[in-house]
Amino acid sequence: MLRRSLRIPAAGAAYLLTAAVSSSAMVFAPDEFAELSASSGTRAGPGTAATRVIAHRGASRYAPENTLAAVDAAHRRGFIWVENDVQRSKDGRLVVLHDTTLRRTTDAARLFPGRAPWRVGDFTAAEIARLDAGSWFGKRFKGERVPTLADYLRRLDHNGQRLLLEIKAPEKYPGIEAQVLRELRARGWLDHAHVRSRLVIQSFCVMCVKTVHELAPQVRTGILGAPDVRKLAGYARFADQINPRFSALSSRWLAAVHRLRGPHGRTLEVYAWDVAKNTTARSVRARGVEGVIE
């Protein structure tokens, strides 16, 4: 998922936006965040509390994205939910990376100069494990590695965090939906406690989301993007969330989403991303979204 510039405060429990805000000109401030029960099921709307904030690729303002350092940075700053991106190596291991190439966030171009364009799926897990995934972000993160999904899940469990997992570019990795579910099951993430309140799987690929639902109907799922309202009823058969770019939101579209119930009987939720830096807590709540991914 693309990332933008909404500033999430470093201090305090940055899990949910509260309703208290003194000026529509304010950006999010530390005293606007308070931790509420993850099982409350409250849907935010105008004049209500509880818009969840999910740490995009971990606390990617404070540590290199999609690394264990970013997971820990999110934990220190009170983020209970984190988002990540999952792809597959050449030899079939699941790794946590956003881009479909290794160039931007690792030193693959230096270590493997003859292998442009450095596609993730062209490298073995052992080769990816050699890469420095932290120095591009800052010197103190030199030597940070690209985690496997197994590593990532262990760290989340250790920290007591929850996961919004994006299956990235599934068309490049046939069968990745079943493989992700097998890994989640092997790590204990398909038990009742995780499925009820600690896991959502999303993708830009509608058929990928449908496949996840067919293989594991107990798992909550989300479709990234803002599909035409005429498609929403069909998508509600296998998706619990519709997660668009913030700028794509309209009152008509949100109303259409919130009139529908997903496969688990709850009103469809909306988690928005790519939120502009001058967006206020009041404007987020006024849109009636359940959360922001930032």
Where do the domains of the chain lie, and which CATH numbers do they carry?
16-293 (3.20.20.190)
User: Is residue 177 scored above 60 in pLDDT?
Assistant: yes
212-245 pLDDT, tens digit per residue, is 999 999 999 999 999 999 999 999 999 999 999 9
Burial of 243 (C-beta count, 10 Å sphere; 0-12/13-18/19+): buried
Radius of gyration of the chain measured on its C-alpha atoms: 18
Cα end-to-end span (Å), the chain: 10
Check whether the bond before 117 is cis (ω within 30° of 0): yes
Q: How many CB atoms lie within 10 A of CB 252?
A: 9
pLDDT confidence of 173, banded at 50, 70, 90?
very high
pLDDT confidence of 19, banded at 50, 70, 90?
very low
Q: Give me the chain's average pLDDT, please.
A: 86
Q: Is 213 a catalytic residue?
A: no
Q: How would you classify the pairing of strands 51-54 and 16-17?
A: antiparallel
| pLDDT, position 94 | 98
| pLDDT, position 282 | 74
Task: Measure the CA–CA gap between 111 and 97, rounded to whole angstroms.
Answer: 18
pLDDT confidence of 14, banded at 50, 70, 90?
very low
Q: pTM of the prediction?
A: 0.85
pLDDT confidence of 13, banded at 50, 70, 90?
very low
User: Is residue 101 scored above 70 in pLDDT?
Assistant: yes
Q: Which residues pair with 119 in a beta bridge?
A: 101
240-279 pLDDT, tens digit per residue, is 999 999 999 999 999 999 999 999 999 999 999 998 877 7
Q: 98, 194, 213, 258: which one is catalytic? A: 98
| pLDDT, position 2 | 55
| pLDDT, position 51 | 80
Q: 56, 75, 194, 213: which one is catalytic? A: 56
**Six token digits for residue 280:** 């206020």
- The torsion angles phi and psi of 126, rounded to 5 degrees, stand at -65, -40
Of 204, 154, 203, 205, the residue nearest 183 (C-alpha) = 154
pLDDT confidence of 47, banded at 50, 70, 90?
very low
58-98 pLDDT, tens digit per residue, is 999 999 999 999 999 999 999 999 999 999 999 999 999 99
3-state SS, residue 131: coil
Categorise residue 113: left if φ over 0, alpha if ψ from -120 to 50, beta otherwise. Answer: alpha
Task: Measure the CA–CA gap between 160 and 80, rounded to whole angstroms.
Answer: 8
Task: Give CA torsion, residues 192, 193, 196, 200, to 10 deg.
Answer: -100
